[in-house]
Amino acid sequence: MDWDGIGMDWDRLGRDWEGNGIDWPGVGIDWDGLGCTGAHLCPLPGVFICRGREDALVTRNLVPGESVYGEKRISVEDGDSKVEYRAWNPFRSKLAAAILGGIDQIHIQPGAKVLYLGAASGTTVSHVSDIVGLEGLVYAVEFSHRSGRDLINVAKKRTNVIPVIEDARHPHKYRMLIGMVDVIFADVAQPDQTRIVALNAQHFLRRGGHFIISIKANCIDSTAAPEAVFAGEVRRMAAERMRPQEQLTLEPYERDHAVVVGVYRPPPKEK
Ligand SMILES: C[S@@+](CC[C@H](N)C(=O)[O-])C[C@H]1O[C@@H](n2cnc3c(N)ncnc32)[C@H](O)[C@@H]1O
């Protein structure tokens, strides 16, 4: 297996894979001859690490035999059946970059219902679809018809992806298509992104649900320091009953980007 281009130097990155006190359950796969020594659950449910000559972040392919954007696949025997994983490139996905950067929680997990704003052609959406599995759902909103065509093709093969070709600024236009969700993930790269997430949260995010927002500093203010832009967005979130819990930058994969994870309308603390 040639993992060139997606190989990771884990020691250099934010996440301490070995020393985190977490038991890494192997999935009982023999990767010998494939260049992998095993696929392990990473501390985030539904996300795996293929360990080998070059380690790689992977998700378990919901549609074995199919790549979505030319990514590498690895198929291995698991008893009588086969399990296939797809490489997840952090240079092409901010969510993957956040995971490799050491984010504690993404809340996107098997069985979760996710509203994904800014789905583009479905690159990251496809990995979210792998993670949530057939018990979960991904409502994928994208307003570009060109990207939307690719997204619809992804959804034809992935029954847990519901493409919504609409402007995320107008959630009332797609309210009939979408149920309540556990998580909103937003990567629309718009100056009013926080307001867009807040509007969608009012319609669709359950109380105590979570949001993940990827912020590209120069989309919001190209004249201010990125840290000042991130701090301003965090203040805006707080004003919308969105309580940020974690923030990290996406270096070395993306420059001047941050991801903020938080909880929406947290229930009052019990006395
Ligand atoms: C940075 S790209 C998203 C990349 C994608 N998240 C991925 O990882 O594959 C931003 C996308 O958001 C879409 N977008 C921007 N504003 C939007 C809006 N108001 N409603 C829906 N989609 C929007 C753009 O068309 C573009 O495809």
- Looking at domain 94-264, which CATH architecture does it have? 3-Layer(aba) Sandwich (3.40)
Task: Tell me the whole-structure pTM to 2 decimals.
Answer: 0.87
pLDDT at residue number 40: 63
Distance 170 CA to ligand 1 centre (A): 14
Distance 57 CA to ligand 1 centre (A): 23
pLDDT at residue number 267: 72
**What pLDDT tens digit does each residue of the chain (271 aa) get?**
333 334 444 443 444 444 333 333 333 333 343 345 456 667 789 998 887 767 789 999 999 999 999 999 988 777 788 789 999 999 999 999 999 999 999 999 999 999 999 999 999 999 999 999 999 999 999 999 999 999 999 999 999 999 999 999 999 999 999 999 999 999 999 999 999 999 999 999 999 999 999 999 999 999 999 999 999 999 999 999 999 999 999 999 999 999 999 999 877 777 6
pLDDT at residue number 29: 34
**Who lines ligand 1 at CB under 6 A?**
93-94, 118, 120, 123-124, 141-144, 147, 167-169, 187-190
Q: Which atom of ligand 1 is nearest to the CA of 116?
A: 6
Distance 164 CA to ligand 1 centre (A): 12
Strand 81-87 to strand 113-117: parallel, antiparallel, or no bridges (unpaired)? unpaired
Q: What is the SS3 string spanning the chain?
A: CCCCCCCECHHHCCCCCCCCCCCCCECCCCCCCCCEEEEEECCCCCCEEEEECCEEEEEECCCCCCCCCCCCEEEEEECCEEEEEEECCCCCCHHHHHHHCCCCCCCCCCCCEEEEECCCCCHHHHHHHHHHCCCCEEEEECCCHHHHHHHHHHHHHCCCEEEECCCCCCHHHHCCCCCCEEEEEECCCCCCHHHHHHHHHHHHEEEEEEEEEEEEHHHHCCCCCHHHHHHHHHHHHHHCCEEEEEEEECCCCCCCEEEEEEEECCCCCCC
Q: Which atom of ligand 1 is nearest to the CA of 123?
A: 9
Which residues are 212's β-sheet partners?
Answer: 185, 261
pLDDT at residue number 39: 63
What residues does CATH 3.40.50.150 cover in the chain?
94-264
Indicate the top mutation candidate among 187, 212, 250, 255 to test ligand 1's pocket, ranked by most ligand atoms within 8 A of CB. 187
Distance 118 CA to ligand 1 centre (A): 3
pLDDT at residue number 81: 80
